[in-house]
Amino acid sequence: MTPRTNGIVFSVAQLRDHAYEHVASELKRLGMTDLAPSHGAILITLYREKALSLKELSIRINKKKSSTTELVDKLIRLGYVEKATSAEDQRVKLVGLTAKSLAHKKDFKVLSENVNGRVYKGFSIEEQQLFTDLLSRALKNY
């Protein structure tokens, strides 16, 4: 029997859609109705990195700089992030967290663990690593 391999893009798209819906409902449950799942990628990245330039942030979340700027601008309006001038280079603006976003750090950690737990449910540690490695390799093809 030949394994079915031609539906991978559809399957990945479905996985993304389901994960997006799950994150949106979790944000709502946590009372963060003003945020979209795409904002979560920025906040989680900044929880790890503290502050990044827009260029570096767009690379980390794998979005165009214009899209990242739009998301960051909304997060600024909502009070989750702020921009500050870099001490090393006055031309560079760094995006950093505010007290409001830091107050939700634990919520985002739990949410992230919950989403990853759902994706990897029933997978061994080795399968999780293999799955991640294979998806990363496929992404590099684009």
Q: What is the pLDDT of residues 46-61, one digit of tens each?
A: 999 989 999 999 999 9
Q: What is the pLDDT of residues 105-141, one digit of tens each?
A: 999 999 999 999 999 999 999 999 999 999 999 988 9
Cα distances (Å, whole numbers) of residue 116 to 1, 23, 59, 120: 31, 11, 21, 6
Domains of the chain as residue ranges with CATH? 11-140 (1.10.10.10)
pTM for this entry: 0.82
